[in-house]
Structures are given as C-alpha cells and as structure tokens.
Amino acid sequence: MFLSCFSFFLPFSSLVSLFFFPFSFLFFFLFFLLLFLFFSSLFLFSFFSLFFFSFFFSFFFSFFLPFFFSFFFFLFSSFCFTFLSLFLAL
C-alpha cells in the first residue's frame, strides 16, 4: 500500500519537472540577454546602464530565481520518489 502511494505520485512529479524544463532554458537565455544588454549599455550610456542594471536585478529576483528553484525542486522530488520507490520495491 505504501509503495503504491509513491508509485502513484511518481509520474506527476516527472511531468511537472518536464514541464518546467523548457522554461528554465528560456530564463537562462533571457538572463544572458539582459546581461549582454547591461554590459553593452554600460559602455554606451551611463543613464541607460543604470536603467538596465535595475531592470536586470528586478527581473532576476522576481522571475528567474523562482522558476530556477522550482525546476530543481521538482527534479529533486522526482529523483527522491524514484529512489524511494526502488528502495521500497527491494
């Protein structure tokens, strides 16, 4: 009964981690794009560099970090459910 509980939750955790996997690559791309904009604006205009610097950090702390940590949390939980179900099957 205990094993069937964990094998029931295993596909859902894997599906959630697969759902967040493309979004993590998207936010990695946006992260490096904003980093490039920040450094290019640093050499061009000091006012715009300050604007991009503040925008970069507000974007990073509000959008990138929650998706990044949620992706690794669901990936870790799917591994935990997998190893726990394998351990209980033995």
Q: What is the pLDDT of residues 5-47, one digit of tens each?
A: 444 444 545 555 555 555 566 666 667 767 776 666 666 555 5
pLDDT of residue 5: 47
The rounded distance, in Å, linking the Cα atoms of 83 and 68 is: 23
Residue with the two structure tokens 């967040």: 20
Domains in the chain: boundaries? 16-89
CA distance 6 to 83: 10
pLDDT reading at 78 higher than 60: yes
